[in-house]
Structure 1
């Protein structure tokens, strides 16, 4: 080789190291997706996927080592490329009415809350779908946080598994799934995190998972109109609408979403919502003293809902510091309910659970993402 050709060779920089392969959160995978992962990524036979899935979603396993009917070699293979992303219990607050509020720490140091509400005939968990919320409803403490991020399907489902473990331990139960009902009314707007919600619902309803009935799951929305149609087409669980006003003027003041999709648009979406025979849409109406609890409001509400199969849950407002709203008294709430009932609308005054631990409707907020809430145990 000549000197000229040697010196003309290009100078090459060292190649960067390849990026590490992305690890898989197996608890966020549907059974179909997990089967693809097991066969294509791990090179294992397809029957291994339901085994792993049942460990995750029937038994609530939090580590691969718990999966004792898998070979050690397969468990090591899973550890090399996959994770079961845990929620760590950070706070547990107990109410005088039996409600328990749990605060969970996520893998990235965020905090979410879920609320266990036992009663004589059911054990209900209120589930969060986001860290914070972007909807900024003026009467809701979660809305003051803003949206930090969406929860993954695994983090949504992990709340259910974690509370099942807590209930089994606290109440001395042997059943793997003591919870009977789920309400997606915790932190966040579920339909704002629709894809992850839909995957979580498929896991929670699956026979190889917790196997919740569609009749025992309710998802609440402030009224993301385009998503209501998708929700009705792509899931089969129950819908609840957080209405909280009888006029657009009222709703604009407290629920910014109404400026984009007003009451008329919201109710039109509800009329088109596919309902199974005998099913109704639940409308949630937070009663705020001197704001939306007059007889006139009740009569306007009757007119709004007259051609929709509905049940109305009246929720006396749970007062939050600094938000400037006050709760409707018991007598006024009953008068409001009676007006609806007189016009053949099924209306119930919902008992607020966990007020004394800030675990009731509209009270879930971490008061920042750093320090535990006051009174934490």
Structure 2
């Protein structure tokens, strides 16, 4: 049964209170300590102490920080909070998927999705932008206009919010529910690479949340100049939102291809730092009935990926209102997968998750946007 906590109030005004320390980078946290009156020579030590409380213990109250003097805690509390952004809506699917609609500022909202039973335990799909500029024709998320980039603090806060809800504090290597992070939510991560890189630094830090870089995957629609830089800066796993094997079709499905065609994309992928059998590229391929799902296109995909350490995620199309596409028949998807498998590539068929709460791939904010529009009209 779908359960929802809807605390949306369109008339609510943000509380212009002190800024939060939750989600800051180490240098930002050090600067915050000095701004609160900590001597420069002690600021790094205090920042390291606060870091541990914020990211290892998930502290929501300065009184928890027992290795920091009381008067210093009181001073920090005058200047800052440990608050997370507001959860506007929390939905739980029949399959255990959880979706959070998060308000970052008035009129600025993003969605984050926790998917159980992915990777070692579960994956958290985070957003890097509010809206998107790419206009991929099969993706409802991509049809929503870009509002702005998220900050590293706002990206890291998505992880903290999910861990709050799943009661995953303090950090432990045992019985974790969130073991993987995927930058596959709203937006194109490589158009916000500085913030994405800083957020990965925060999330991977071993003194805090401690999710390894090899357990973080960044998905791009093909911002070619930024692909090698992503690997150099983050050492994260790379995923490519591909969906077609020729430029004519990909120009239609992924308009960014007109700027960076497939040949250029493949060259950038081959230059990805650390690429190898233990660090394969994931190619995402949404299955669209009668569009890109023929045996000939499966064979073309095999040829395109020749020599690239790869795995292919075949994604049954997730419908949304007035979509121009349909999902391929299951038999067609299995035939496609068999051709790719026989060529030596892993090609798992992704099980659709969270469809009942519009949390599946390509659906983010589709239902919440419709509800917001309805509320504005009423």
**1:91 matches 2:89:** yes
Q: Which residue of 2 aligns with 1:57?
A: 55
Correspondence 1:17-56 to 2 at 5 A: 26-39=21-34, 42-44=37-39, 45=42, 46-56=44-54
Could you tell me how far 1:310 is from its partner in structure 2? 0.5
Report what 1:238 is aligned to.
Answer: 237
Shift of 1:348: 1.3
Q: Partner of 2:144 in structure 1? A: 145
What is the rounded CA distance, in whole Å, between the counterparts of 1:179 and 1:115 in structure 2? 11
Give 1:109 shift.
4.0
Deviation at residue 334 of structure 1 after TM alignment: 0.4
Query: Distance between the aligned counterparts of 2:373 and 2:124, measured in 1?
Result: 20
> Compared with structure 1, are the counterparts of its residues 330 and 373 closer, same or farther at alpha carbon in structure 2 (3 Å cutoff)?
farther
Taking the TM superposition and a 5 Å limit, the aligned residue runs for 1:125-140 are: 125-140=124-139
**1:353 alignment counterpart:** 353
Counterpart position of 1:159:
158
Counterparts of 2:164 and 2:173 in 1: how far apart (Å)? Answer: 10
Aligned residues of 1:145 and 1:367 also touching (Cα < 8 A): no
SS of the residue 2:311 aligns to: strand
Match of 1:208 in 2: 207
Q: 1:165 to 1:154 in 2, by over 3 A?
A: same
Distance 2:370 2:342 in 1: 49
TM-score (norm 2): 0.85
**Paired residue secondary structure (2:284):** strand
How far did residue 212 of structure 1 move?
A: 0.6
1-side partners of 2:220 and 2:81: how far apart? 31
Give the Å deviation of 1:26: 3.2
Aligned position for 1:67? 65
Do residues 294 (structure 1) and 259 (structure 2) align?
no
Q: TM-score, normalised by structure 1?
A: 0.85
Separation in 2 of the partners of 1:43 and 1:147? 39
Which range moves more in the overlay, 153-162 or 86-95? Answer: 86-95
Quote the offset at 1:189 in angstroms: 1.1
Give the Cα separation in 2 of the matches to 1:108 and 1:176.
36
Higher mean alpha-carbon deviation, 174-183 vs 355-364, is at: 174-183
Q: For 1:150-229, list aligned pairs within 5 A.
A: 150-168=149-167, 178-229=177-228
Deviation at 1:151, TM superposition (A): 1.2
Counterpart of 1:108 in structure 2 is: 106
Residues 358 and 366 in structure 2, CA contact (< 8 A), matched pair in contact too? no
For the aligned residue pairs, the C-alpha RMSD in angstroms reads 2.6
Unpaired runs of at least 5, structure 1:
1-21
Partners of 1:27 and 1:177 in 2: CA distance: 21
Aligned mates of 1:25, 1:229 — CA distance in 2: 33
Q: Which runs of 5+ in 2 are unaligned?
A: 1-16
Q: CA deviation at 1:55?
A: 2.0
Partner deviation per Cα, 1:129-184 (whole Å, 9 max, x = no partner): 11111111111111121111111111111111111121128xxx997964111111
Alpha-carbon distance in structure 1 between the residues aligned to 2:80 and 2:29: 11
Q: Secondary structure at the match of 1:106?
A: strand
SS of residue paired to 2:348 = strand
Greater C-alpha Rg:
1
Using the TM superposition, give the Cα deviation of residue 118 of structure 1 relative to its aligned residue in structure 2, in angstroms.
1.2
Structure-to-structure mapping, 1:223-372, within 5 angstroms? 223-275=222-274, 277=276, 278-366=278-366, 371=371
Q: Report if aligned partners of 1:86, 1:158 keep a CA contact under 8 Å in 2.
A: yes
Q: Structure 1 residues 80-89 or 299-308, which shifts more?
A: 80-89
Aligned length: 350
For residues 241 and 267 of structure 2, the distance between their equivalents in structure 1, rounded to whole angstroms, comes to: 15
For residue 75 of structure 2, what is the aligned residue in structure 1? 77
Counterpart position of 2:12: none
Q: Contact 2:182/2:216 (CA < 8 Å) preserved in 1? A: yes
